[in-house]
Structure 1
Amino acid sequence: MVLRNSSSVTEFIFGGFSEQSEVHVPLFFLFLGLYVLTVVGNLGLITLIGLNSRLHTPMYFFLFNLSSIDLCYSCVFTPKMLHDFVSENIISYAGCMTQLFFFCFLVNSECYVLVSMAYDRYVAICNPLLYTVTMSPQVCALLMLGPYAVGFAGAMAHTGSMLRLTFCGSNIIDHYLCEVLPLLQLSCTSTHVNELVFSIVVGMVIATSSISIFISYALILSSILRIPSAEGRSKAFGTCGSHVTAVALFFGSGAFTYLTTSFPGSVGRSKYASVFYTNVVPMLNPLIYSLRNKDVKLALGKTLKRVLF
C-alpha cells in the first residue's frame, strides 16, 4: 500500500463533536467510560471462553471472534478520539489511511461473523442431530476465514480508491474518525470512482449479509413453529435471542447512520448517529451474550470461584 506523493495534505484535523472546549472534558469522561466497559467486557468474554472447556463449542468460537473484533474495532479510533478531547485533534495522512483501512476491515468482518453465527443457530435448531458433524472444526474455521477475507478485500477497495485522490484544499474532517464519506468531501479530484466503489462494496456487504441472516431465521422460525411443546419453542427461541438482539443493534444503527447521509447536508450530522454503532454496540455485545446466557454465567461463576478460592 503506497501513499501518493502528489497529495499536498500531510495531515488532517478532526472536526469532532463540538468546537466548544467546555464540553470536551465531559465528553472525554463519557467516552472513556464506554471504552473501559467495552475493553473489560470483550476481553473478559474472550478470557472466559478461552479458559473454560465447556465453552469450546462452535457457538462460543464465533462469539470469541465477535468479541475479538469488537475489542480491536474500538481500539482503532477510541484512544485517538479520547486524545483529541484533551489535546490537538490532528492525524497524519498515513495515520488516517491506516485508521480507515482497519475500520473498514473490522466493520465488514463483523457483518459476516454475524452471518456465520446465524448459520450456526440454523444448524443447531433445524438439524440438531447433525450439528456436531455439520459444524466441524474445519467448517467453523472456513466460516471465520470467509468474513476476514471479505473484510480485507472490502477494506483494500475502500482504502486503495482513497489513496488515488488528491487532497489540496481544506484538511478538516467533519467527523471524529477517518470515514469514507467525510474524506470524499475534502478531495480536489473527481470522487466518482470512489463513490461507485463505496456503493458496490457497502451494497454487497449489506445485501448479502442481511439476506443470509433473514433466510436463516426464516428457516429457524419455520422449524420452531413445528415444535409441539411450548417449552420446546421457548427454549429454541431463547438460543437465538442474544444473536437477534446483536444483529438488530448492529445493522439497525449502521443502516440509520448511512441512510441519513442521503439527505442534503447530513453527512456531518451522521457522525452523531454513528456513535451508537462505533461506541455503544461493541460495549453492549458482551452484556447481551452474558446476561442472557446460562452457560456464560455458569462459567463465570466457576472461574471466579477458582480465582478467589
Structure 2
Amino acid sequence: MHPQLCQKMVLTAWLGGLGSALILCSLTLKLPKCGHREVDNFFCEMPALIKMACVHSKVMEIIVFSLGVIFLLVPLSLILISYVVITQAVMRIKSAARWSKVLNTCASHLTVVTLFYGTLIYMYMKPQNSSSQDEGKFLTLFYTIITPTLNPLIYTLRNKDVKRAVKRMLPVGKWSAKS
C-alpha cells in the first residue's frame, strides 16, 4: 500500500470518528433530562444517555441510524464482499489442504467480525426505545470487553506453536490420571 493512501485512510478514520462523536455528544447532551437521574450502565454510552431524556428524539434516532449505516454497515459490507472474492479464489484451488487452511483462517476472522459487528448493529441500529436497560448493559459488555478478549484467543489458538505451548503449560495428563 502506498504510504500516502495509508495516511489518507487513517486521517479519514480519525476525522470520521471525531466528527461523529462531536455531533452525537453535542446533540445527546442537549436533550432535556427529567430530574436527577443516574446512568444505569457500566459507562456513559450514548444509547443509555438518550434513554434518560424526557423526550423521544426522532432526529437523534435518524442521526444514529445514519451513522450506523456509514460506520457499521459499509465496513461490514466491504468485509463480506472481500470474503466473496476470497471464496471465489478458494473455489479454484485444487489442493484440499490449502482449501481447509484458507477456510480455517476465514472462519476465525468471520467469527470475530460476527461477534463484533453483530452486537454493535443490534445495539445501535434499532429504535432506541425498543430494548431493556439490562439488554443494553449485556451488549455493551459484550462488544467492549468479551469480543476484544476473545479476539486474540480466536486467532492465536489456531497457531501450532501456541497450541504446543498451551499443552505444555496445562497439566492435562495429571488431572486425568488422578480422576
Classify the TM-score, shorter chain. 0.7 to 0.9
Could you tell me how far 1:293 is from its partner in structure 2? 3.5
Q: Does residue 268 of the first structure (1) align with residue 133 of the second (2)?
A: yes
Q: Does residue 221 of the first structure (1) align with residue 87 of the second (2)?
A: yes
Could you tell me how far 1:228 is from its partner in structure 2? 1.6
Q: Deviations over 1:6-26 (max 9, x none)?
A: xxxxxxxxxxxxxxxxxxxxx
Kindly provide the amino acid, as one letter, of the partner of residue 195 in structure 1.
E
Kindly provide the amino acid, as one letter, of the partner of residue 178 in structure 1.
C
Alpha carbons of structure 1 residues 276 and 167: separation in structure 2 relative to 1, 3 Å:
same
**In structure 2, what is the equivalent of residue 90 of structure 1?**
none
1:270-289 aligned within 5 A: 270=135, 271-289=137-155
The whole-number CA distance in structure 1 between the counterparts of 2:10 and 2:162 is: 25
CA contact (8 A) 2:61 2:127 kept: no
**Counterpart pick for 2:111 among 242, 245, 248:** 245
Q: CA RMSD in A?
A: 3.1
The whole-number CA distance in structure 2 between the counterparts of 1:230 and 1:278 is: 37
Percent identity (aligned): 34
The whole-number CA distance in structure 2 between the counterparts of 1:262 and 1:166 is: 19
Q: Deviations over 1:138-171 (max 9, x none)?
A: 4444444433332222212211212323335232
The whole-number CA distance in structure 2 between the counterparts of 1:265 and 1:193 is: 16
Q: Does residue 153 of the first structure (1) align with residue 19 of the second (2)?
A: yes
Alpha carbons of structure 1 residues 177 and 196: separation in structure 2 relative to 1, 3 Å:
same
Kindly provide the amino acid, as one letter, of the partner of residue 177 in structure 1.
F
SS at match of 2:118: helix
Structure 1: gaps spanning 5 or more residues:
1-134, 301-309
CA contact (8 A) 2:64 2:124 kept: no
- Larger relative CO (CA 8 A, sep 6+): 1 or 2? 1
Q: Deviations over 1:260-283 (max 9, x none)?
A: x65966231322233211221111
1:1-309 aligned within 5 A: 135-188=1-54, 191-258=57-124, 262=127, 266-270=131-135, 271-293=137-159, 297=162
CA contact (8 A) 1:167 1:187 kept: yes
Equivalent residue pairs, number: 164
SS at match of 2:133: coil
The whole-number CA distance in structure 2 between the counterparts of 1:242 and 1:147 is: 25
SS at match of 1:173: coil
SS at match of 2:132: coil
The whole-number CA distance in structure 2 between the counterparts of 1:176 and 1:290 is: 29
Q: Deviations over 1:37-61 (max 9, x none)?
A: xxxxxxxxxxxxxxxxxxxxxxxxx
Alpha carbons of structure 1 residues 241 and 142: separation in structure 2 relative to 1, 3 Å:
farther
Alpha carbons of structure 1 residues 257 and 192: separation in structure 2 relative to 1, 3 Å:
closer
CA contact (8 A) 1:169 1:187 kept: no
Could you tell me how far 1:244 is from its partner in structure 2? 1.6
CA contact (8 A) 2:34 2:53 kept: yes
Q: Deviations over 1:32-89 (max 9, x none)?
A: xxxxxxxxxxxxxxxxxxxxxxxxxxxxxxxxxxxxxxxxxxxxxxxxxxxxxxxxxx
**In structure 2, what is the equivalent of residue 28 of structure 1?**
none
